[in-house]
């Protein structure tokens, strides 16, 4: 049965939890390092032992401010930490220190770019979209229950409290998204912005960026929201997009068939490509919030906010716009080159080294370099080919020292050996001959050696031009600059 999706509207709201990149936890001095021995980074504060008192790590506030400013959000000069009370084994205190009615930032908007996708998932027609940001607040993370990789896991649950007290920024949107791809583009925007300013590593595989989606559907024109489900444990932006898509289809199918939906929390099963209900934590969400009595109100001055703002790099959106303007790149190219800050820095350094050939450098970075980086699993700042070397290669191609085709092989070798462009070209004896005197000499030889073809050509058989080009290239062992060969040959064959 083909679903009549056109009659339905999808409503999605998102919550992103981003770990702020501090060295120590938000209310104690324990390390935030990922992958350490379970429960090795703990102390009375983050274990919730009686009498232990939290002390705010100011670095978490700075990074929270960077996160807010990177997203264009306003920062409240006064916010309040609050206790969110609930019982769960990964939360030894019985409450999480978070923020409630007076958060760090509230009622913001964020401009993102979003695009519909074709069947293959390729974007078409990027357009701006405004997303309402309900709030951005600071909080501590809980610990982690472990159900795998330990002895007797069928009889025991384990808990690792290394993550307990790690600083998070929680960013909550209004239910403004109307498709899974809008949600996808939003999370990627947030992830890039936070990485860009160094607020968070935002690595979903390490769990330092997590997202949850609230999804519902309603008939078009219906003023009331439908029953919503909450999607959790989404380990990648792509899984989130798939999970939303799966739920939207399930909702529409169920409602079209006259069925009922239940409000529930679901997990995405990436193996089966479907959602499944999560074991319920606790049903009634009454967190009995109250102001945290052990911490004073969080006060930041406008001078502090200004200082953070001035310390920030040029943000990805403005930088992509500048790339378009200054380097004459399309929006798609400019946004690809600003996908990560290290890549944008790389590109600009390479343009300079190329002698200002921005377009050609963009092509080399986007196609050849990115492919090598991707194969090697490296980011641009770890590239074995330094930006100055890529620029040098581009400029040698521009000058006709080697051909573009040779350049591709040279780049691959530079990447695998770390050698300079000049060294690889020298070693391979690739230097292209552009000297007209030398090329003329070869052409004269070729013409003298092929009198029959010359006569045929001059009597009108112009297809033989290609034959002469081939002979000259062969005689020069492929080193003659084809452009110069073409020009000189045309000239010489005339007379």
Of the pair 45, 82, the CB lying nearest Zn ion is at: 45
Of the pair 39, 324, the CB lying nearest Zn ion is at: 39
- What is the closest distance, in whole angstroms, from the C-beta atom of residue 88 to Zn ion in the complex? 19
Q: Helix 451-458 and helix 465-475: axis angle, to 10°?
A: 150
- What is the closest distance, in whole angstroms, from the C-beta atom of residue 45 to Zn ion in the complex? 5
Which window, 28-36, 266-274, 375-383, 442-450, contacts Zn ion (CB under 5 A)?
Answer: 28-36
In angstroms, the CA 252 to CA 134 distance is: 27
Of the pair 92, 198, the CB lying nearest Zn ion is at: 92
Of the pair 28, 390, the CB lying nearest Zn ion is at: 28
Which window, 20-28, 136-144, 150-158, 386-394, contacts Zn ion (CB under 5 A)?
Answer: 20-28
In angstroms, the CA 422 to CA 410 distance is: 9
What is the dihedral angle through the alpha carbons of 122, 123, 124, 126, rounded to the nearest 10 degrees?
Answer: -170
- What is the closest distance, in whole angstroms, from the C-beta atom of residue 97 to Zn ion in the complex? 13
Q: What are phi and psi of 400, to 5 degrees?
A: 80, 15
Q: Is 73 helix (H, G, I), strand (E, B) or coil?
A: coil
What is the DSSP secondary structure assignment for residue 24, as one 8-state letter? B
Residue count at the site for Zn ion (CB under 5 A)?
5
Of the pair 165, 316, the CB lying nearest Zn ion is at: 165
In angstroms, the CA 197 to CA 344 distance is: 13
Q: Helix 237-256 and helix 180-196: axis angle, to 10°?
A: 160
Which window, 24-32, 272-280, 342-350, 439-447, contacts Zn ion (CB under 5 A)?
Answer: 24-32
| Contact call for residue 28 and Zn ion (CB under 5 A) | yes
Q: Do 489 and 472 contact (CB within 8 A), yes or no?
A: yes
- List all residues 6 or more positions away from 482 whose beta carbon is below 8 Å from its beta carbon: 403, 469, 473
Q: What pairs with residue 167 in β-bridges?
A: 140
| Contact call for residue 31 and Zn ion (CB under 5 A) | no
Of the pair 61, 129, the CB lying nearest Zn ion is at: 61
- What is the closest distance, in whole angstroms, from the C-beta atom of residue 28 to Zn ion in the complex? 3
Q: Do 21 and 198 contact (CB within 8 A), yes or no?
A: yes
| Contact call for residue 166 and Zn ion (CB under 5 A) | no
In angstroms, the CA 59 to CA 209 distance is: 18
Of the pair 54, 103, the CB lying nearest Zn ion is at: 54
Burial 450-474 (b: 16+ CB within 10 A, else e): beebbeebeeeeeebeeebbebbbe
In angstroms, the CA 191 to CA 16 distance is: 9
- What is the closest distance, in whole angstroms, from the C-beta atom of residue 41 to Zn ion in the complex? 7
In angstroms, the CA 139 to CA 89 distance is: 18
In angstroms, the CA 433 to CA 437 distance is: 10
Of the pair 166, 433, the CB lying nearest Zn ion is at: 166
Segments of 50-198 assigned E as strands:
78-79, 81-85, 95-99, 105-117, 123-140, 144-146, 158-160, 167-173
- What is the closest distance, in whole angstroms, from the C-beta atom of residue 20 to Zn ion in the complex? 16
Of the pair 58, 290, the CB lying nearest Zn ion is at: 58
User: Which residue shows structure tokens 């939003």?
Assistant: 186
| Contact call for residue 30 and Zn ion (CB under 5 A) | yes
Which window, 37-45, 110-118, 225-233, 367-375, contacts Zn ion (CB under 5 A)?
Answer: 37-45
Out of 46, 68, 298, 390, the only residue in the binding site for Zn ion (CB under 5 A) is: 46
Which window, 38-46, 243-251, 290-298, 455-463, contacts Zn ion (CB under 5 A)?
Answer: 38-46
Pattern 394-433, Zn ion, x by CB under 5 A: ----------------------------------------
Of the pair 162, 208, the CB lying nearest Zn ion is at: 162
| Contact call for residue 43 and Zn ion (CB under 5 A) | yes
Which window, 43-51, 264-272, 284-292, 318-326, contacts Zn ion (CB under 5 A)?
Answer: 43-51
Which window, 36-44, 101-109, 215-223, 338-346, contacts Zn ion (CB under 5 A)?
Answer: 36-44
Of the pair 30, 80, the CB lying nearest Zn ion is at: 30
Site for Zn ion in 277-306 (CB under 5 A): none
User: H or E stretch including 267?
Assistant: strand 265-269
Residues in contact with Zn ion by CB under 5 A are: 28, 30, 43, 45-46
């Amino acid at each position: 049965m083909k679903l009549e999706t056109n009659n339905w509207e999808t409503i999605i709201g998102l919550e992103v939890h981003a770990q702020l990149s501090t060295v120590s936890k938000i209310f104690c001095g324990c390390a935030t390092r990922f992958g350490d021995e379970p429960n090795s980074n703990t102390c009375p504060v983050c274990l919730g032992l009686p009498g232990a008192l939290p002390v705010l790590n100011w670095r978490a506030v700075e990074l929270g401010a960077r996160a807010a400013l990177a997203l264009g959000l306003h920062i409240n000069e006064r916010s309040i930490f609050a206790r969110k009370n609930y019982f769960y084994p990964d939360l030894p205190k019985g409450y999480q220190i978070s923020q409630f009615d007076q958060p760090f930032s509230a009622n913001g908007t964020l401009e993102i770019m979003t695009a519909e996708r074709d069947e293959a998932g390729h974007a078409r027609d990027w357009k701006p979209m405004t997303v309402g940001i309900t709030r951005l607040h600071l909080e501590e993370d809980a610990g982690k229950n472990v159900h795998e990789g330990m002895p007797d896991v069928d009889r025991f649950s384990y808990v690792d409290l290394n993550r307990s007290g790690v600083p998070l920024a929680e960013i909550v949107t209004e239910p403004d998204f109307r498709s899974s791809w809008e949600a996808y583009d939003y999370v990627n925007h947030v992830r890039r912005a936070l990485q860009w300013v160094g607020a968070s590593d935002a690595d979903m595989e390490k769990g330092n960026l997590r997202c949850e989606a609230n999804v519902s559907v309603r008939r078009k024109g219906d003023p009331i929201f439908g029953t919503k489900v909450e999607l959790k444990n989404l380990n990648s932006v792509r899984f989130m997009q798939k999970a939303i898509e799966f739920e939207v289809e399930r909702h529409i199918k169920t409602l079209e068939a006259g069925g009922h939906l239940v409000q529930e929390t679901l997990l995405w099963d990436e193996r089966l490509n479907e959602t499944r209900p999560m074991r319920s934590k606790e049903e009634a969400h009454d967190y009995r919030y109250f102001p945290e009595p052990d911490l004073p109100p969080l006060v930041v001055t406008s001078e502090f906010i200004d200082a953070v703002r001035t310390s920030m790099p040029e943000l990805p959106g403005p930088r992509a716009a500048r790339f378009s303007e200054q380097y004459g790149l399309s929006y798609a190219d400019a946004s690809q080159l600003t996908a990560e800050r290290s890549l944008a820095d790389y590109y600009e350094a390479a343009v300079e080294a190329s002698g200002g050939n921005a377009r050609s450098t963009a092509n080399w970075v986007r196609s050849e370099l990115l492919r090598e980086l991707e194969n090697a699993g490296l980011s641009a700042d770890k590239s074995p080919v330094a930006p100055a070397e890529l620029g040098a290669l581009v400029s040698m191609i521009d000058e006709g020292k080697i051909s573009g085709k040779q350049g591709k092989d040279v780049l691959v070798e530079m990447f695998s050996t770390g050698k300079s462009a000049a060294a690889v070209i020298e070693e391979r004896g690739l230097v292209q001959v552009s000297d007209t005197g030398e090329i003329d000499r070869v052409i004269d030889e070729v013409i003298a050696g092929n009198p029959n073809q010359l006569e045929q050509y001059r009597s009108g058989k112009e297809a033989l031009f290609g034959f002469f080009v081939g002979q000259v290239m062969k005689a020069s062992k492929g080193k003659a600059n084809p452009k110069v060969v073409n020009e000189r040959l045309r000239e010489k064959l005339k007379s």
